Amino acid sequence: MDKIAILKKFNEHSKNTLMETLDIEYINVGSDFLTAKMPVNSKVHQPYGQLHGGATAALAESVGSAASNFFIDNKNQFINGIQLSINHIKSKKEGVVYATAKNIHKGKTTHLWEVIIVDEDEQLISVAKMTNIVLDIRKK
């Protein structure tokens, strides 16, 4: 596995998407995990100046969906998220958060991921569970 090439591909694939808007960057990958980071600043704040739960959920879903791409035939299949559950543990006003998706179940039609989100001090910010469905690309 060429980590640099994989991360470059994921980051290039994020151009002109919500991931680019939120400055999400994929930074590490392994055989059963993917990690991305997102800066915490006014772009991702709610009105009280704290990290918005929706931005955190978008980070979790982005890394969980991207991680599923390791296990599919990218020419004939694609991933759709079908369920995301997230618990917010601690607030964050500034800095960086890191989301690591770890595979819990890899089936032919569904993938289940646990996504742990921590800050730069390894403080737990949020915990998510995400289910993806593997769909076949329909030929016209």
| pLDDT (tens digit per residue) in 84-139 | 999 999 999 999 999 999 999 999 999 999 999 999 999 999 999 999 999 999 87
Q: Catalytic pick from 12, 61, 94, 122?
A: 61
Domain that holds residue 106: 3-136
| pLDDT (tens digit per residue) in 52-90 | 999 999 999 999 999 998 888 888 999 999 999 999 999
b/e per residue 101-125 (b: at least 16 CB within 10 A): bebeeeeeeebbbbbbbbbeeeeeb
Q: Is 61 annotated as catalytic?
A: yes
CATH number of the domain bearing residue 104: 3.10.129.10
Distance separating the N- and C-terminal Cα atoms of the chain: 33
Domain count, the chain: 1
The pTM of this model reads 0.93
Residue 97: beta bridge partners? 38, 119
